Amino acid sequence: MSTIAKWAPAALALVLVASPGLWRISRHVITIAHEAGHALVALLTGRRLEGIKLNADTSGVTVSRGRPTGPAVVVMYFAGYVTPSLLGLAAAALVTAELARPLLWATVVLLAGMLVMIRNAFGVLSVVLTGAVMFLVSWYATAEVQSAFALFVTWFLLLGGVRPVGELQSRRMRGRARQSDADQLARITRVPGLVWVLLFAAVAVGALVLGGRMLLPVY
């Protein structure tokens, strides 16, 4: 892979995250990962998952039933904002191990599992389109294209996991996020919402730094 081909995925991911216009579209992928994190933790902690909605304004909601307080609920609310970054870190490990195609297939499988729980038309469209792109690249593209695309996905998750945390705090400062994950956690734990936002940021930035260091040898 040429030097340009190696750096192009990172540059493209940065453009999608940094550009306001492109971010309004590409952010839907981060929302999918965010809600998938809530859903997965809900299932793993024994809660009853009732459904997921993904909205055109890039918001989403995951509905589960169970105890309204306790460690399981705390972990479930915490999972949303950190899941894209943690997925990016896992993807970086697979990319550096030259497992681009298994990464793409794993993503397709996860999206297929999530699709079963989607409860609105826009959500179905978002997940199906994302899964279709992953499938087409993994099935028809050359090994070099698959590697470049896997690098792009990895960088996008790592970079895209950071921006929503800043957006969250911006909305909170304007009083427009009273039902956010951070504020839900504050009500449950009595730990200030800002502390939870800082924890989200620590995980997102930490994953970006660690993932970036893992990917550097690839270049």
The residues of the chain scoring below 70 in pLDDT are 1-5, 218-219
Rounded Cα–Cα distance for residues 166 and 14 (Å)? 16
Q: What is the pLDDT of residue 4?
A: 64
- Give φ, ψ of 61 to 5 degrees: -150, 135
Q: What is the pLDDT of residue 5?
A: 64
Query: Is-above-0.85 flag for pTM?
Result: yes
Q: Are 64 and 76 in contact (CB under 8 A)?
A: yes
Q: What is the pLDDT of residue 3?
A: 60
Token digits of residue 61: 């909601």
Q: Which residues, other chains included, contact 101 with Cβ-Cβ below 8 Å and sequence gap of 6+? A: 138, 143, 146, 150
Q: Report which of 99, 95, 82 is spatially closest to residue 207, judged by C-alpha positions.
A: 82
Q: What is the pLDDT of residue 143?
A: 93
Exposure b/e, 167-193, CB count within 10 A at least 16 = b: ebbeebeeeebeebbbbbbbeebeeeb
Rounded Cα–Cα distance for residues 175 and 126 (Å)? 29
Domain ranges for the chain, please list them.
3-218
